Amino acid sequence: MALGFFRKKSSGTGKDPATTPVYGGMADKQTKYEALVHALHADIYRYAYWLCRDPQVAEDLVQETFLRAWKAIDTLIDDKAAKAWLITILRRENARRFERKQFDLIDLDEHPQSDQDALHSEQEMENEWLRRHIARLPAEYQEPLLLQVLGGFSGEEIAAQLGLNKNTVMTRLFRARNQIKEAMESAAQQRGHTNG
């Protein structure tokens, strides 16, 4: 936005638009928005990427999220709630993506991944295994876990975002972690049987 354009004196009145309340409010809005984008863009992108696993779609989601944030920036009263506010917007944008589009569903177990060369190291394989198992969790367990792990939110913050009480969130986090742990133990046992 070219702020210099707004600072020119209007030819008819002789008043400087920069001194009008409308301009002052716009400058405050712009400053607040730019600070928001600068501080939280990386976190919002990381969460978007975890949701969709596609860099272009993640960028589109982030762009839509910040566009909606710009339109509603005046509703953000507490700056400490900005991250939770943006993640809520992002989750809604991601849901809208599925409302607009019908996907062909396939069973991933019947269609093994053909590009195994993409997983170069053991750590990358473990990360991919973990991502797949988190994706298999029921949404009621998956969402709080992702908000905690990727978003860095506390149990209380997650509860507020999801409209649940804190005890419910903590129970779901516990169960999600247990399901992942059980899957890891099962995979380790299977490796032990095939190696032995």
Distance of CA 141 to the CA centre of its chain: 16
Spatial neighbors of 88 by CB under 8 A, at least 6 apart, are 161
Answer yes or no: are the C-beta atoms of 45 and 59 closer than 8 Å.
Answer: yes
Q: What is the DSSP letter of 80?
A: G
Top-tier CATH class for 26-103: mainly alpha
pLDDT of the residue at 18: 45
Q: What was the pLDDT predicted at 103?
A: 55
Q: What is the pLDDT of residue 8?
A: 37
pLDDT beneath 70, residues of the chain = 1-27, 100-121, 123, 193-196
Provide the pLDDT for residue 172: 92
Coil, strand or helix at 24: helix
Residue 11 DSSP one-character state: T
Q: What is the pLDDT of residue 194?
A: 59
Fold of 137-195: Arc Repressor Mutant, subunit A (1.10.10)
Q: How many CA atoms lie within 13 A of 196 on its CB side?
A: 6
> Tell me, what's the pLDDT at 107?
66
Domain ranges of the chain: 26-103, 137-195
Contact call for residues 179 and 141 (beta carbons, < 8 A): yes
